[in-house]
Structure 1
Amino acid sequence: MDTLADTLQRLREAFGSGRTRPAEFRASQLKGLSRFLKDNKQLLQEALAQDLHKPSFEAEVSELSIAQSEIDLALRSLRAWMKDQPVSRNLATQLDSAFIRKEPYGMVLVISPWNYPLNLTLVPLVGALAAGNCVVLKPSEFSRSTEKVLAEVLPRYLDQVSKLLGRICSLKHFQRLQGLLGCGRVAIGGQSDERDLYIAPTVLVDVRETEPVMQEEIFGPILPIVTVGSLEEALAFIRRREKPLALYAFSNRSQVVRQVLAQTSSGGFCGNDGFMHLTLASLPFGGVGASGMGRYHGRFSFDTFSHHRACLLRRPGLEKVYSLRYPPYSPRNLQLLLLATQDRGCCTLL
């Protein structure tokens, strides 16, 4: 069996050969990913049911359809995304060509969590493939059935430039969540079964800010409730902590939702819902600060996995014009140079 080092070396060589860069190759990978979803829909639904007891309706809405929509958008938009992006020029560069070129990073690693094991694996994978990268996937070790399908079935649909790594079997996550049930007081739920790795949806009340359940991402069916005296106190509570991946504000008063939006910062924000923003490929998904780096969904995935290379191509034969930037310096040359390099958007004719 090849070692990890051998696999990574092959991926580097594959990228270095240039085979992943053409739009045709990228599109073929995306089409293969689409076939994987369509051919194995029932298998994936069964895997999600085994891992999360997720009904087929929810699996379709929150996993399969979102991933398929991302693929369809990438296939429709791929060539437009790959085009050089012209940028504005100043007076000194009017005869030149200035643009941003989206270049693949090379070899990238996608590590996905267990709570949306298909969605949060395939959506960034779409962006990475569309951007022309070689990809190593590391599915969650806690979503065993979904990981098995990804490891055993998905490679049949993709060029083996992409690679999946095995998982680690562990009860650590279940035991961590079980430990959090000791925080505050259980108002609803609290039941658990280690054999099935099941924890009932649980609401905790009388929770203190210093307790473990309030110090880390929960990634489990546990909802701690902290009581505050006012909206201002709630906003202060949010602001003195690390910026969250997402913030959801629920209120019958629109001004309350807008106040929370205006006076906090988070990777994403949703008013009066906790999910539907994920269905929009036009909105980026990602964290800020401690909650994560990068963003994906639609074009944002492509851009996240692309290096934005700054490019300026100057015309030859104009060095005499450009020579005013060289010694001997003079006030006149300085004035001309500052005028020529000024952002044209800032210029006003009086």
Structure 2
Amino acid sequence: MWFIPRNYPRTLESSQYRTIQNHHHELDCYAVVSGGAEETKALLQNRFDHIFYTGSQAVARSILRAASDHLTPVTLELGGKCPCLIYGKVNMASAAQRLVWSKYFNAGQSCVAPDYVLCSQATRDALLPALRQTLEEFYSKDPQTCPDVSRIVSPQHWTRLMELLNRSRGKVVVGGESNQEDKYIAPTVVVDVAEDDALMEEEIFGPILPIITAESLQQGIDFVNRKEKPLALYVFSEESSIVNAVLEKTSSGGFCSNDGIVHMTLPTLPFGGVGGSGWGSYHGRWSFETFSHRRAVMLRGWALERLNSLRYPPYSEQKLSWLRWTTSAKSSCSLM
């Protein structure tokens, strides 16, 4: 979480302040506080010019309530369940490689990782062998010993993921192995997942990929639109009509066709959510805009004061006629 301070909260310990030097002048100091919920709650009692938060919707609601006391603007990046729709003609080998990389990168612990796949049953049946082959190529036949397979960030998160998987009514067709002591969960694929399944209740944020069958593209789009607007939405298809249909008929923070995650690496694109996946955007110049205030400034001199008499009392029909003329489309004159 980033706070843009008005007056740095002097209630913090002085040891938390550091003066930053550069080659030519001394900058003001920054307060850096490491902590959890209690420390954040204390910080939010102070007044800031802007609050930037990345995390869950639950915490975001608490931040918004605290920010409202001071009418502090907030930028939120909240993640969510990012869908991947696979329809029409697809290069299945390339699709499997890009899906596996973007889903299982960092063991799925990425806010823009594909959370679930929507496709027809025929596409699913063609995709599964490609996923198995790609997973073996990327992570070997024994992923737990592969140095490129990440571990789950904490014991609590490992337990949460395993509870979701154990509650699921879907069928594990790839992976499923785990080791609590090692905080390891194998890259896992689950099929026959229903819309109300445990894996669809919240963002997974882990190496578990549910595949949901929706026979038509419209059914897939309708499924996405019944959910909260995601931080990212992916569509895999060689048919531009399918890509454009998904783009035009859905809403998401970001959109990428035939790949995953890489859209957020472009500094020329704004990165952020919409609706339940966040407010505002950043990256590149968009970060500058987010943390800036567009201040309207007009600097005037004292010339042509006689013309200003048209807007000064006492008023008359003649003055009104002239003022109407200066504000008409035919006139580029401004007496204000």
Q: So what's the TM-score if we normalise by structure 2? A: 0.51
The gaps in structure 2 that reach 5 residues or longer are: 1-6, 30-46, 57-105, 107-152
How many residues align structurally? 207
Q: How does 1:1-350 map to 2 (within 5 A)?
A: 9-10=9-10, 171-181=155-165, 182-183=167-168, 184-316=170-302, 320-330=306-316, 332-334=318-320, 336-337=322-323, 340=326
CA change 1:215–1:336 in 2 (3 A) is farther
Q: Please say if residues 242 and 289 of structure 1, whose CA atoms lie closer than 8 Å, have aligned partners that are also in contact.
A: yes
CA change 1:344–1:298 in 2 (3 A) is farther
Residue 270 of structure 1 aligns with an amino acid whose one-letter code is: C
| Alpha-carbon separation, structure 1, partners of 2:10 and 2:331 | 47
Quote the offset at 1:271 in angstroms: 0.4
More helix by percentage? 1
Q: Please say if residues 235 and 256 of structure 2, whose CA atoms lie closer than 8 Å, have aligned partners that are also in contact.
A: yes
Residue 263 of structure 2 aligns with an amino acid whose one-letter code is: H
Q: SS at the partner of 1:309? A: coil
CA change 1:211–1:302 in 2 (3 A) is same
Residue 264 of structure 1 aligns with an amino acid whose one-letter code is: T
CA change 1:325–1:211 in 2 (3 A) is farther
Residue 275 of structure 2 aligns with an amino acid whose one-letter code is: G
More strand by percentage? 2
What's the % identity of the aligned pairs?
50
Q: Which structure has the larger Rg?
A: 2
Q: SS at the partner of 1:281? A: coil
Q: SS at the partner of 1:172? A: helix
Residue 232 of structure 1 aligns with an amino acid whose one-letter code is: Q
Q: SS at the partner of 1:241? A: coil
CA change 1:275–1:329 in 2 (3 A) is same
Q: SS at the partner of 2:289? A: helix
CA change 1:329–1:26 in 2 (3 A) is farther
Quote the offset at 1:332 in angstroms: 4.9
Residue 262 of structure 2 aligns with an amino acid whose one-letter code is: M
Q: What are the superposed Cα offsets for residues 192-222 of structure 1, whole Å, 9 maximum, x if unpaired?
A: 2221222211112121212232232221112
Which deviates the most, 235-244 or 309-318?
A: 309-318
| Alpha-carbon separation, structure 2, partners of 1:346 and 1:247 | 46
Residue 9 of structure 2 aligns with an amino acid whose one-letter code is: Q
Which gives a bigger RCO, structure 1 or 2 (Cα 8 Å, sep 6+)? 1
Q: So what's the TM-score if we normalise by structure 1? A: 0.49
CA change 1:24–1:304 in 2 (3 A) is farther
Quote the offset at 1:302 in angstroms: 1.5
Structure 1 stretches (4+) deviating beyond 6 angstroms? 22-27, 342-347
CA change 1:286–1:346 in 2 (3 A) is farther
The gaps in structure 1 that reach 5 residues or longer are: 1-6, 30-104, 115-142, 144-168
